[in-house]
């Protein structure tokens, strides 16, 4: 049921030593009665099977209930990547209890990037943008110290936030939309706009200098199903930008 999508991504200023770096993105688990735990367990196992160098989590681990935080953390606990697991929070995490979700992720050894960046030993820069629906977003703070020539990946929950840093040459990974969850032309477009994601429903977009990927995510809200919109795990293989994908 889960679609495993694979993408070769050109990253500006990426050094030759990072050619072939493999990154898995998981997003929008929405651990709740509406999303089967079996699907989430399968997603974690499939992510590990890909042997990624890095795992990036882009928010909405839970939906409405604080009681879902610990079970979700237990589901996420087996995740393994050579360079670690990095995460941001989504709007539903803050609806439930943002600090408690953040604490649960940090206890797993994951690195939280809430309006801040981290430079890996290999030179790759990871930038995390915090949630906009609760007015936590601070792009200036998130990019502090990030040079224009740094090879940069940005974790952002709401894809529309890419417009706030579209002057930056970077690759951004987002979630939030579930790809519409129920894919019907007028309904889907209206729903994506209602949640503040504008027209960024799913897949690749170019916004100014930034390249954006919107992942359909794993879970569900509102109704316990998807229609013409399969849940997704995304694997990105990085290459220097002077190559053709």
Q: What is the pTM of this model?
A: 0.96
Q: Determine, yes or no, domain membership for 202.
A: yes
Neighbours of 147 (CB within 10 A): 10
Domain ranges, residue 203: 3-239
Q: Any idea what the CATH number is for the domain that residue 119 is in?
A: 3.60.21.10
Q: Determine, yes or no, domain membership for 173.
A: yes
Q: Which two tokens stand for residue 160?
A: 């529309």
Predicted confidence at residue 187, as pLDDT, reads 85
Q: Determine, yes or no, domain membership for 245.
A: no
Beta strands in the chain (DSSP E): 3-11, 22-26, 54-58, 85-88, 111-112, 116-119, 125-128, 152-155, 170-174, 203-207, 210-214, 232-240
Predicted confidence at residue 199, as pLDDT, reads 96
Q: Determine, yes or no, domain membership for 35.
A: yes
Per-residue pLDDT in tens (0 to 9) along the chain, 245 residues: 899 999 999 999 999 999 999 999 999 999 999 999 999 999 999 999 999 999 999 999 999 999 999 999 999 999 999 999 999 999 999 999 999 999 999 999 999 999 999 999 889 999 999 999 899 999 999 999 999 999 999 999 999 999 999 999 999 999 999 999 999 988 899 999 999 999 999 999 999 999 999 999 999 999 999 999 999 999 999 999 874 34
Q: Determine, yes or no, domain membership for 244.
A: no
């Amino acid at each position: 049921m889960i679609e495993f999508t694979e993408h070769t991504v050109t990253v500006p200023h990426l050094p030759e030593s990072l050619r072939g770096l493999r990154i898995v993105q998981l997003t929008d688990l929405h651990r709740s009665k509406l999303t089967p735990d079996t699907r989430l367990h399968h997603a974690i196992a499939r992510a590990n099977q890909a042997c990624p160098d890095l795992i990036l989590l882009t928010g909405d681990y839970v939906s409405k209930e604080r009681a879902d935080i610990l079970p979700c953390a237990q589901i996420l606990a087996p995740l393994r990547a050579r360079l670690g697991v990095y995460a941001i929070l989504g709007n539903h995490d803050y609806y439930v209890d943002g600090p408690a979700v953040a604490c649960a992720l940090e206890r797993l050894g994951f690195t939280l990037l809430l309006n801040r960046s981290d430079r890996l030993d290999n030179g790759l820069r990871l930038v995390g943008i915090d949630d906009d629906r609760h007015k936590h977003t601070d792009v200036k703070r998130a990019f502090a110290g990030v040079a224009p020539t740094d090879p940069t990946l940005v974790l952002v929950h709401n894809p529309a936030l890419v417009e706030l840093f579209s002057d930056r040459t970077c690759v951004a990974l987002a979630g939030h939309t579930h790809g519409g969850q129920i894919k019907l032309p007028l309904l889907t477009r209206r729903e994506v706009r209602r949640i503040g994601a504008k027209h960024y429903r799913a897949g690749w977009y170019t916004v100014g200098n930034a390249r954006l990927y919107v992942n359909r995510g794993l879970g569900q809200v509102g109704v316990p199903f998807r229609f013409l919109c399969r849940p997704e795990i995304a694997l990105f293989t990085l290459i220097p930008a002077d190559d053709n994908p």
